[in-house]
Amino acid sequence: MNAQAPLSAGTPAAAHPFTHVDGSKRTEDKMKHLIRAAAFFCAAVQLSSSPVAATEVSVDVHSVTASGVGDKIGTVEISDKSGGGLEFKVDVTGIPAGEHGFHLHANGDCAPGEKEGKAQAALSAGAHYDPAAAKSHKGPMGQGHKGDLPFLTATDKGVNVVVTAPNLKMADVLGRALVIHEGGDNYTDHPENGGGKGRIACGVVPKS
């Protein structure tokens, strides 16, 4: 067997096949790898626990009277609309045929309330959603209440229609109330709130 050639004084240690790798260097590399892995894991956990904005939400709609909240009469499915705004797929029964005002109200509560000493249906839902304090009812395409939605037209079988609200985002509706009114809606302040009159159906939008 040939003897191993001795390492010459001029040969760099890193170039020789039997050069010893410094142990502290290996330890440092391992620590860097562990730190990167830990950082990646923490970022993944934070991302998974971060709240994700809802893109579709279902609302149970109930009949309402001055005595309280009644039976479920349908649903409204709310989803993001391509190009902006929201879509409301309304599917309810048990309301009179004809036109009915449909609005997003500020409070997520369908309980009755008292006005001028008299109990009224779903008054706890508050006024139309109006974050800009426009204090004017101009319909879904106007610059009034942000909660103004297209009116609904019921047949003897109820309402089954999709309406859109270009000025709303999902964050606007979560935790608030959808209200169907007794009368129609002319998208003006005369009569008040377009003439919707009393509240006959209501549903609270889940917060998430």
Which 3 state secondary structure label does DSSP give 179?
strand
Structure token digits, residue 182: 């007794």
On the question of pLDDT at 153 being above 90, the answer is yes
Nearest to 189 by CA among 131, 126, 107, 128: 128
Query: Does residue 52 surpass a pLDDT of 70?
Result: no
Q: What is the pLDDT of residues 31-51, one digit of tens each?
A: 665 656 555 444 444 434 444
Phi, psi of 149 (to 5 degrees): -115, 165
The answer on pLDDT for 199 being more than 50 is yes
pLDDT at 28: 63
Gap between the Cα atoms of 73 and 83, Å rounded: 31
Which DSSP helix (H) or strand (E) runs through 61?
strand 56-65
Residue ranges per structural domain of the chain? 19-49, 56-204
Residue 20 or 203, more confident:
203
- In one-letter notation, the amino acid at residue 97 is A
The most confident of 28-32, 35-39, 123-127, 195-199, by mean pLDDT = 123-127
Least confident of 6-15, 55-64, 128-137: 6-15
Contact between residue 133 and residue 145 where contact means Cβ atoms under 8 Å apart: no
- Residue 154 CA: distances (Å) to CA of 71, 90, 95: 18, 11, 7
Computed over every residue of the chain, the mean pLDDT equals 82
155 - beta bridge partners? 158
Contacts of residue 9, Cβ cutoff 8 Å, sequence gap at least 6: none
By the 8 A CB rule, do 205 and 175 touch? yes
Whether the CB-CB separation of 179 and 202 falls below 8 Å is answered with: yes
Q: Which of 50-59, 117-126, 185-194 has the lowest mean pLDDT?
A: 50-59
Tokens coding 76: 């409204």
Taking every pair of Cα atoms in the chain, the longest distance, rounded to a whole number of angstroms, is: 113
Predicted confidence at residue 69, as pLDDT, reads 98
Q: Which CATH class is domain 56-204?
A: mainly beta
pLDDT, average across residues 144-169: 94
Neighbours of 185 (CB within 10 A): 23
- Please state, in angstroms and as integers, the Cα–Cα distance from residue 131 to each residue in 17, 64, 134, 167, following that order: 74, 25, 8, 12
Out of 23-37, 46-60, 165-179, 192-206, give the one with best mean pLDDT: 165-179
